Amino acid sequence: MEPRLSPSAQQIERAEQAQVYDHQVTLTAVGGSEATAQMLLEKFITLLPQAVQEIHAAHSANDQSGLYDAIHKLAGSTSIVGAVAIHAEAKRVQNLLKQRPLLPEQINDGVVTILDEIACFQQQFST
């Protein structure tokens, strides 16, 4: 399923009810501009497949630094766009990746949860 380029008001409402998206977060980040909030959401949706690829690649290669960078980048964009469920899990996994010793099972579970949250978010905005 391909994501729509312009999420409808109904999709936004459904995503908010599913607690994967908070439109008010985006509006606050852009000073209340509905057009800018919409543009950011559209851009974020189109960039999610790349984020998934980066996370998969780093995780598969056991590249902890690359995984941290990919998740850090995702966490930054989710905080502005209002992808609250993805953001919360990304921040949790970032913190796990900073801990020593590393906790591989928890990191693996966190990566799976992030990817699940991304899939849920994409589903909310697909046609």
Per CATH, the homologous superfamily of domain 9-124 is HPT domain (1.20.120.160)
Cα-only R_g, the chain: 15
pTM: 0.86
The pLDDT > 90 percentage for the chain reads 76
Residues 6+ apart with CB under 8 A from 19: 84, 85
pLDDT band (50, 70, 90) for residue 2: very low
Q: Please write the tens of the pLDDT for every residue from 27-73.
A: 999 999 999 999 999 999 999 999 999 999 999 999 999 999 999 99
Amino acid at 25: V
Alpha-carbon span 120 to 98, nearest angstrom: 26
Amino acid at 109: D
Cα torsion through 1, 78, 85, 6, rounded to 10: -40
pLDDT band (50, 70, 90) for residue 127: low
